[in-house]
A and B are shown apart, each in its own frame.
Chain A
Amino acid sequence: MPDSTALQQQVTLIELVDRVLNKGVVLAGDITLSVADVDLVYVGLRVFLASVATLERLDAA
């Protein structure tokens, strides 16, 4: 059973990756990441987020 700290850590990691990859300054068309690369990270994150919601539900039960 995850405690709220573990949940907070998971959410924080998702938020961190989201910021680093999708936010922040882009200068002159310099980003070299391919969409496929970013998508790969996100496949992992979606699974992660789904499990966060599920874990929370278990936690509340």
Chain B
Amino acid sequence: MLHLYAVTEHPAQLPAVRGIDDAALRTATSDGLDAVVSSIIQRDTALSQEAILAHARVVEEVAATNPAVLPARFGGAYPDDDAVAAAVRMRARELRLSLEEVRGSVEIGVRVVRTGPDQKVAAASGGEYMQARLARVREAEQLAASLAEAVNPVARAETHSVLATPELVVSAAFLVPRDAFDEVRAAVHRLGASQPQLSFLCTGPWPAYSFALVDKDRDEPS
């Protein structure tokens, strides 16, 4: 079986790193696109931390050595090169459009975590609980909008989710030029300074995982 790490333009520059289980990287070419793959022993790649980190390392190195790279979600497995090429060919047009979107860009993650004391939702009824919950979602969406506005001068795209857990108020990702990390972090910290009950954490730069969804109906609004 072959494990898929990323899709990029042909000819891909393969980095010197090795893949899952120390396997050598290679490419399967189709329609001017290269899929970066390595052999894996079994179909169900064990979902170990080592395998996840190996996948992430390969994606990062491929993204560092090629101008436009779409990271693959962990778990893409194919019987042989022909099967990979066929899967790429089926989506070639969308993959090319998506590659243009992420060209020369990196992704920056921003997590806004509630660190101050949480106001208890004292709800006497289901209706009151729903009202309180809605108010929180609205508040979180406003925060996400403020965050997007703060990063807007450099962002090429944005995606976010709110209240994935009660503490995780906003989880956002921004697609920005490779050299813009410090600028984004400064903008986020300026916003964070006005919100002492919240903690703003920037991560990255990442390969463009959150902007490599070629499906028409994306996971989240962008």
A residues apposed to B, CB below 8 Å = 7-8, 11-12, 15-17, 19-28, 30-33, 37-38, 40-41, 46, 49-50, 52-53, 56-57, 60
Contact = CB atoms under 8 A, between A and B. Distances in A.
Contact of B113 (A22, A26, A31, A53): A53
28 contacts: A7-B201, A8-B203, A11-B203, A15-B203, A19-B56, A19-B71, A19-B109, A19-B209, A20-B74, A23-B213, A24-B73, A25-B7, A25-B71, A25-B73, A26-B213, A26-B214, A27-B76, A28-B86, A30-B4, A30-B78, A31-B75, A32-B43, A32-B45, A32-B76, A38-B47, A46-B165, A49-B167, A53-B113
B64 interface: no
Contact of A24 (B72, B109, B114, B168): B72
B151 interface: no
B77 interface: yes
Contact of A23 (B6, B52, B73, B87): B73
Nearest to B1: A32
Given A12-B203, A49-B165, 18 more contacts: A17-B52, A19-B209, A20-B73, A20-B209, A21-B52, A23-B209, A23-B213, A24-B72, A25-B98, A27-B4, A30-B4, A31-B76, A32-B44, A33-B44, A41-B52, A49-B168, A56-B115, A60-B115
A24 B113 contact: no
B201 to A, nearest CB: 5
Contacts of B87: 27-28, 30
Contacts of A40: 47
B190 interface: no
On chain B, which size bracket covers the interface?
35 or more
B160 interface: no
Interface in B129-158: none
Interface of B: 4, 6-7, 43-45, 47, 52-53, 55-56, 59, 70-78, 86-88, 90-91, 95, 98, 109, 111, 113-115, 165, 167-168, 199, 201, 203, 206, 209-210, 212-215, 219
Contacts of A25: 6-7, 70-73, 76, 95, 98, 212-214
**Residue of A11, A12, A16, A32 with highest tally of chain B CB at under 10 A:** A32
